[in-house]
Amino acid sequence: MNLRQIEVFRATMLTGSTADAARLLHVSQPGISRMIGHIELQLGVSLFERGKGRLKPTPEAHALYAEVEQVYRGVQRIDARAQALKSGGGLSVRVLASPSTLLEIVPSAVASVSADYPDSRIYVESQLVRDMVRLLSTGEADVGISNLPIDHAPLVTEVIGAWSLSCVFQKGHRFERETSVPIAEIVKEKLIAFSPDTPQGRLVAEAYPAIDPRQFRIEVRSGQVACALAAAGAGVAVVDSLTARAWPHDRLAFRPVRKAPTSKVYRVRNPNFPSSALEQALVERVRQGFRALTRQHA
């Protein structure tokens, strides 16, 4: 018996007549009668005694119905699972992200996707590139959002956004009157600088080679630490725009660095493991977040 025959037989058992079964299944009554006759012929047994418009199930029909109900409940479970996938039921995604993307862009994307897929599970971790590579290569994570390009087989990358540089300073500083700040003015201030081996430090060094590292009075490795020091009045800092935007602005202000270079943000994944609809939706929200950031920075 195929699924259609099972459906017709079950409807006939439930209603007791081919006419009522036809109404239940929204088909014609002759079609139901032909199907029941075909099932009986195929099985070589009589399933119903006919009389006065009603069908009386035989013992063979009751025995078959017990098995059919188990199959039908299985089909219902499959259908329920298929419907649940639309809301993320049974779906999960493990996301690894560079720290600065976890301050605003990735959390906003997670919140949005979680609302659209209420039955999903989303795991989010802050990871450095070397750990990101290891976890994605072994399939222990699904997707990475990286501030640095990754060239490591079998991983593949695609650009999904970019960030630029902003100057952060204590509220009330003269830079607050500007819409953007040139680097020539920034170097006149007490500088809080990034260590040369950080992404921000490398970007600043490559973009502004004339800056003398000896004038850096304070050195940090974290954009959040740089913002905290600037908010306390220890100096000004050039940080990534992601960190500058996410910092509470009751004591800290920021302005874009004029003509600053940009740095790309990458989606990193292992092509040996297909991505789910949940992962694709999350990456698209991250991409949208970076587009909005670019418009606002411009």
Query: pTM of this prediction?
Result: 0.68
The superfamily CATH assigns to domain 92-162+263-297 is Periplasmic binding protein-like II (3.40.190.10)
Q: Taking 80 as the threshold, does the pLDDT of residue 215 lie above it?
A: no
CATH 3.40.190.10, domain 165-256, yes or no: yes
Domain boundaries, the chain: 3-85, 92-162+263-297, 165-256
Q: Using an 8 Å Cβ cutoff, are 261 and 207 in contact? A: yes
**Fold (CATH) for 3-85:** Arc Repressor Mutant, subunit A (1.10.10)
Q: Using an 8 Å Cβ cutoff, are 201 and 147 in contact? A: no
Tell me the range of 102-106, 199-203, 210-214, 292-296 where mean pLDDT is highest: 102-106
Per CATH, 3-85 and 165-256 having the same topology is answered no
Q: Using an 8 Å Cβ cutoff, are 176 and 256 in contact? A: no
Q: What is the 3-state secondary structure (H, E, C) of 75-103?
A: HHHHHHHHHHHCCCCCCEEEEEECHHHHC
Q: Taking 60 as the threshold, does the pLDDT of residue 158 lie above it?
A: yes
pLDDT score at 298 = 60
Q: Taking 60 as the threshold, does the pLDDT of residue 80 lie above it?
A: no
pLDDT score at 295 = 76
